[in-house]
Amino acid sequence: MHVTVTGAGGFIGGHLVSSLLEDGHVVRGVDIKPFGDWYQLHPAAENLTRDVALLESAREVVAGTEQVYNLAADMGGMGFIENNKALCMLSVLGSTHMLMAAQEVGVDRFFYSSSACVYAAGRQTDPAVTALKEEDAYPAEPEDGYGWEKLFSERMARHYLEDFGLQTRVARYHNVYGPDGTWTGGREKAPAAICRKVAVAALTGGTEIEIWGDGEQSRSFMYIDDCVRGTKTIQNSEVVEPLNLGSAELVTINQLVSIAEEIAGVQLERSYDLTAPQGVRGRNSDNSRFRSHFGWEPSISLRDGMAQTYAWIYDQVRKTI
């Protein structure tokens, strides 16, 4: 098939393009960033630098396409999300214009990458959180800024299915991590940030690590290979409602640090910045609905995924020291 991936220069997008090429598809990768800033640039794909927040650009990138994977968004880790709410909300322009353009040209399938940030904050106040089911997104109380944009765009995708017959599919990503992604600069997520801090200590002989919050906030983290497999599975399914796509392996941030220390062979003194952005107190993915539809769920262990991620980030850090 002819497939367009927006956000192809980003972490998930780069891995998705690679997988689609391996499957034998003709892939058009699109990102707003110049090619030098793409995490992966695949010569076998048609690569375009375009801003799909502009309707004319969205129309250009969907021309001749049978399937769209819309991953384009201005986002990052909790530090970025909490301090850039307007920028996160502006991603609605790309989401909306890509749906409009896809409907105009008769795209067969349209995948939208949503987020666990759509879930109601009142259900995420305890580290021993009850895993979130898809219906827990309502009554709506999502993450301010980023979560509201994701929830709105989910609804827009639903209405394009209902009103125009565009076959939209939606996944709610839960904390995706792995190599070839953001690991420094303020947009990185917790696994990458922790791997970087541990790698710096291991390479420089450092003895301390700073942790945002008290370290007892809990999350689940999904390795990129599970994310890509799940993304393609949802896109090519007949399931039209949003689905969780995440690991159900719940850990605290302190436990995540311990895993990174074990992989690196170091033990660091921990300091806690209680003023730093922390997000919700606990979040985990209930995979019951995904498992009932497809007979599997993301299952790559955090220990195995972190080993791969740490090795890649260690090499990046070493180049800078």
Distance CA 321, CA 316 (A): 9
Catalytic residue among 112, 119, 146, 310: 146
Among the listed residues 220, 286, 214, the one whose alpha carbon sits nearest the alpha carbon of residue 251:
220
Copy the structure tokens of residue 162.
């209902």
Alpha carbons within 13 A on the beta-carbon side of 129? 30
Distance CA 13, CA 16 (A): 5
3-class SS of residue 170: strand
Active site residue 160: no
Q: What is the rounded (10 degree) CA torsion for 40, 260, 227, 316?
A: 0
Beta strand extents in 213-289 (DSSP E only): 218-220, 222-223, 243-245, 250-252, 269-273
Among the listed residues 276, 302, 112, the one whose alpha carbon sits nearest the alpha carbon of residue 224:
302
Q: Where are the alpha helices (DSSP H) in 236-301?
A: 253-264, 288-294
Distance CA 219, CA 281 (A): 9
Using CB atoms within 10 Å of the CB of residue 204, give its burial: 0 to 12 exposed, 13 to 18 middle, 19+ buried: exposed
Catalytic residues: 146
